[in-house]
Amino acid sequence: MKKISILLICLTVTAGAFAQTAEKKELIKKEESKDLRHDIRSKRANNHEEVKDASHLRLKEASTDHKYAVEHKKAQKVHAKRLQHHGVKHPVARAKHQIHAQDEAKKYGN
């Protein structure tokens, strides 16, 4: 009887621990995907500014925009690796689709 009660207590504690880690993993996934979307948007904006500056022959500003774009690309790769580690398949493509959906919703007011 004593062994059964100890076994039940251990099982409930273990189940509780696993339940908490699943919520934490979901929270981490949400934060990482939000950061990834932010990095993709910033990289796009910096690339746009870089091309605009280069076309107007403002090469110094274009080079600084290029440096920022490279930094955002590195951050994007870090967030993508973390999301892949947490089990998200194709995180960059998924984030790009989410960005597009958000832009469309903002555009049409849905």
Domain span at residue 75 reads: 27-108
Q: Is the pLDDT of residue 25 over 70?
A: yes
Instruction: Give the count of domains, the chain.
Output: 1
Is residue 98 a contact partner of residue 58, using CB atoms and an 8 Å limit?
no
Is pTM beyond 0.85 here?
no
Residue 89 maps to a domain: yes
3-state secondary structure the chain: CHHHHHHHHHHHHHHHHHHHHHHHHHHHHHHHHHHHHHHHHHHHHHHHHHHHHHHCCCHHHHHHHHHHHHHHHHHHHHHHHHHHHCCCCCHHHHHHHHHHHHHHHHHHCC
Is residue 82 a contact partner of residue 32, using CB atoms and an 8 Å limit?
yes
Residue 66 maps to a domain: yes
Q: For the segment 37-96, what is each residue's pLDDT rounded down to a tens digit?
A: 998 998 899 899 999 999 999 999 999 988 988 998 898 999 999 999 988 899 999 999
Q: What is the pLDDT of residue 51?
A: 92
